[in-house]
């Protein structure tokens, strides 16, 4: 039997601010990450995305590389401020130049384009009006979604409205380590989640109105637990703890926004602050929620729990990535099953990967054995979830290129393609050559 389903989609992902550069070209307006970086003091080494990987000027070269890597799909985000320099109002006539070239070139090379509408780079003009705290933004988002979907009708069939509401809300409005850098109380963060749910829903309706055949998802991240021992009781405790809002860190659970969107209620484990906010919601808001066609799961690691649901600390010296994230392949087995059990809709792995201390070796190549080992382990575990019935539609590696890693600047290298930031030169790492074989064999080589 084949290890992965017949039409399983293999690809890689990236996001506008992290790779495009050209921050002020062709009529683009400023966004909150331009501001956050230029302000200074927020990002390591005072790095910024002004040039990044310079993808904006290298479409042909980059798509040729993707082809060489054997990718079947490329997930990228559109920069809202390129299309609407002021967030809404008039469309920038040059806003689609880059995306048109990218989409057409992907299609010509048999690579499926998948668009994320919002990967954190909000037009500054909308932030000036309250950003994701102001529910008027849902109208601007719907208009933006409509314009993009109309533009790509017939060429792009898969959209993701929002990338990781958890990071948007908590990192941007709760602890302020991401743009717009606000430090607000928990009730306000809950409000941001609610507005994001309304925006996803309005955006999804707008896309479907212009292109009823489009598939529209949303991308989640955050806590995923896995059992220390694979017994029914331990599995159950891992499931319960994954969605337990009363454990610390409710902001980094999937249910804090997926429950609102799909189950149209808050979980009974929600903390007091969230309940207080929930009481202020107009009941008619629940009728406006749209269930996505799929859920994108961004997954890097998970928490091991025992049969009683207690967290098990990693043993001393347990493997970590270059940025010290835990390496826990087992989480791939369970995360898709958890999400499917709770929400009953198909999933993609929309991001998974690691940062390594990659460098160019004496022979001119980038030997990232660590990435190959990581991927191999994670993909084998993903296959177990699929074998147990999780409807996983595809796997998109994060990331295609090394890129601007938000507050960490360029220090972390997540790519399967090395980028030399001195001159923009790209080098295929060993891992992408390995990944090409995985793709060609639809995972049978694992
Ligand atoms: C984000 C990416 C980020 C990656 C690695 C995800 O949270 O969607 O933009 O680069 O994780 O940190």
pLDDT above 90 covers a percentage of the chain that reads: 99
**Closest to 201 (Cα-Cα) out of 161, 254, 156, 158:** 161
Q: Is 355 in the pocket of ligand 1 (CB under 6 A)?
A: no
Using CA positions, which residue lies closest to atom 10 of ligand 1? 405
3-state secondary structure of 311: strand
Using CA positions, which residue lies closest to atom 9 of ligand 1? 15
Average pLDDT over residues 94-115: 99
Q: Is 402 in the pocket of ligand 1 (CB under 6 A)?
A: no
| Predicted pLDDT of residue 133 | 98
3-state secondary structure of 300: coil
Q: Is 12 in the pocket of ligand 1 (CB under 6 A)?
A: no
pLDDT in tens, 287-346: 999 999 999 999 999 999 999 999 999 999 999 999 999 999 999 999 999 999 999 999
The pick from 406, 407, 411 for probing ligand 1's pocket by mutation, whose C-beta has the most ligand atoms within 8 angstroms, reads 406
Token look-up 């997540």 returns 414
Instruction: Find residue 401's DSSP bridge partners.
Output: 417
Contact residues for 279 (Cβ-Cβ < 8 A; gap 6+): none
| Predicted pLDDT of residue 187 | 97
Q: What would the DSSP string read from start to end of 53-111?
A: T-GGG-HHHHHHHHHHHT-SEEEEE--HHHH-TTSSSSPPTTTTHHHHHHHHHHHHTT-
Average pLDDT over residues 392-407: 98
Contact residues for 315 (Cβ-Cβ < 8 A; gap 6+): none
Q: Is 78 in the pocket of ligand 1 (CB under 6 A)?
A: no
Q: What is the rounded CA–CA span in Å between residue 84 and residue 103?
A: 19
pLDDT in tens, 186-245: 999 999 999 999 999 999 999 999 999 999 999 999 999 999 999 999 999 999 999 999
Angle at 23 between CA 19 and CA 24, to 5 degrees: 160
Residues 223/228/229/234 CA torsion (nearest 10 deg): -50
| Predicted pLDDT of residue 260 | 97
Ligand 1 atom with least separation from CA of 221:
7
Ligand 1 centroid to Cα of residue 415, in Å, is 11
**Closest to 74 (Cα-Cα) out of 64, 84, 85:** 64
Structure-block tokens of residue 439: 């793709």
Ligand 1 atom with least separation from CA of 355:
5
Ligand 1 centroid to Cα of residue 316, in Å, is 26
| Predicted pLDDT of residue 3 | 87
| Predicted pLDDT of residue 376 | 98
Ligand 1 atom with least separation from CA of 414:
5
- Is residue 284 exposed (0-12), middle (13-18) or buried (19+ Cβ within 10 Å)? exposed
pLDDT band at 34 (very low <50, low <70, confident <90, very high): very high
Count the Cβ atoms, other than its own, within 10 Å of residue 246: 11
Ligand 1 centroid to Cα of residue 67, in Å, is 23
Average pLDDT, the chain: 98
| Predicted pLDDT of residue 2 | 73
pLDDT in tens, 332-366: 999 999 999 999 999 999 999 999 999 999 999 99
Ligand 1 centroid to Cα of residue 256, in Å, is 19
Strands 215-220 and 9-13: unpaired
- Asked whether 409 and 45 are in contact (CB, 8 A), the reply is yes
pLDDT band at 96 (very low <50, low <70, confident <90, very high): very high
Average pLDDT over residues 433-442: 98
The pick from 53, 119, 297, 298 for probing ligand 1's pocket by mutation, whose C-beta has the most ligand atoms within 8 angstroms, reads 298
CA 156, 193, 395, 215 torsion-angle sign? negative
Please, what is the angle between helix 59-69 and helix 97-108, to 10°? 30
Average pLDDT over residues 250-279: 96
3-state secondary structure of 379: helix
186 included as an active-site residue:
no
Token look-up 């314009």 returns 147
Cα distances (angstroms) measured from residue 317 to each of 313, 321, 327, 353, 369: 11, 12, 11, 20, 19
Ligand 1 centroid to Cα of residue 162, in Å, is 13
pLDDT band at 1 (very low <50, low <70, confident <90, very high): low
Q: Is 163 in the pocket of ligand 1 (CB under 6 A)?
A: yes
Strands (E), 299-381: 303-305, 347-351
Q: Is 34 in the pocket of ligand 1 (CB under 6 A)?
A: no
- Asked whether 394 and 75 are in contact (CB, 8 A), the reply is no
- Asked whether 25 and 56 are in contact (CB, 8 A), the reply is yes
Token look-up 């683009």 returns 28
164 included as an active-site residue:
yes
Ligand 1 centroid to Cα of residue 121, in Å, is 13
Q: Is 15 in the pocket of ligand 1 (CB under 6 A)?
A: yes
pLDDT in tens, 180-189: 999 999 999 9
Structure-block tokens of residue 17: 């601010």
**Closest to 334 (Cα-Cα) out of 231, 424, 411, 258:** 231
Choose the catalytic residue: 241, 303, 330, 351: 351
């Amino acid at each position: 039997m084949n290890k992965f389903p017949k039409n399983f989609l293999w690809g890689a992902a990236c996001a506008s601010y992290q790779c495009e550069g050209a921050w002020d070209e062709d009529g683009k307006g400023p966004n909150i990450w331009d501001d956050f970086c230029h302000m200074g003091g927020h990002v390591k080494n005072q790095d910024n995305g002004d040039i990044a990987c310079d993808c904006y000027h290298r479409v042909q070269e980059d798509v040729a590389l993707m082809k060489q890597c054997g990718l079947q799909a490329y997930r990228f985000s559109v920069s809202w401020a390129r299309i609407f320099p002021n967030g809404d109002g008039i469309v920038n006539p040059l806003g689609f130049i880059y995306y048109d070239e990218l989409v057409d070139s992907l299609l010509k090379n048999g690579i499926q384009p998948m668009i994320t509408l919002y990967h954190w780079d909000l037009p500054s003009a909308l932030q000036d009006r309250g950003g994701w705290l102001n529910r008027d933004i849902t109208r601007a988002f719907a208009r933006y979604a409509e314009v993009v979907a109309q533009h790509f009708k017939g060429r792009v069939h898969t959209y993701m409205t929002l990338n990781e509401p958890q990071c948007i809300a908590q990192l941007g409005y709760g602890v302020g380590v991401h743009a717009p850098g606000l430090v607000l109380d928990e009730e306000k963060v809950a409000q941001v989640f609610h507005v994001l749910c309304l925006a996803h829903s309005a955006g999804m309706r707008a896309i479907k109105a212009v292109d009823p055949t489009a598939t529209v998802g949303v991308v989640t991240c955050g806590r995923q637990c896995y059992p220390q021992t694979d017994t029914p009781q331990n599995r159950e405790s891992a499931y319960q703890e994954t969605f337990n809002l009363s454990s610390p860190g409710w902001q980094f659970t999937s249910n804090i926004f997926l429950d609102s969107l799909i189950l149209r209620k808050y979980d009974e484990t929600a903390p007091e602050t969230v309940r207080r906010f929930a009481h202020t919601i107009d009941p008619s808001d629940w009728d406006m929620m749209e269930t996505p066609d799929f859920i994108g799961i961004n997954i890097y690691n998970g928490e091991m729990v025992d049969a009683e649901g207690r967290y098990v600390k990693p043993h001393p010296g347990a493997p970590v990535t270059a940025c010290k994230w835990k390496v826990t392949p087992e989480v791939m087995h369970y995360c898709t099953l958890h999400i499917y059990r709770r929400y009953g809709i198909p999933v993609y792995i929309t991001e998974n990967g690691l940062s390594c201390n990659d460098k160019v070796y004496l022979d001119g190549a980038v030997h990232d054995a660590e990435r190959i080992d990581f991927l191999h382990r994670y993909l084998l575990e993903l296959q177990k979830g699929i074998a147990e019935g999780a409807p996983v539609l595809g796997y998109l590696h994060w990331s295609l290129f090394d890129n601007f890693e938000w507050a960490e600047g360029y220090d972390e290298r997540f790519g399967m393609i090395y980028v030399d930031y001195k001159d923009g030169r790209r080098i295929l790492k060993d891992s992408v050559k390995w990944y090409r074989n995985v793709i060609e064999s639809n995972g049978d080589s694992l």
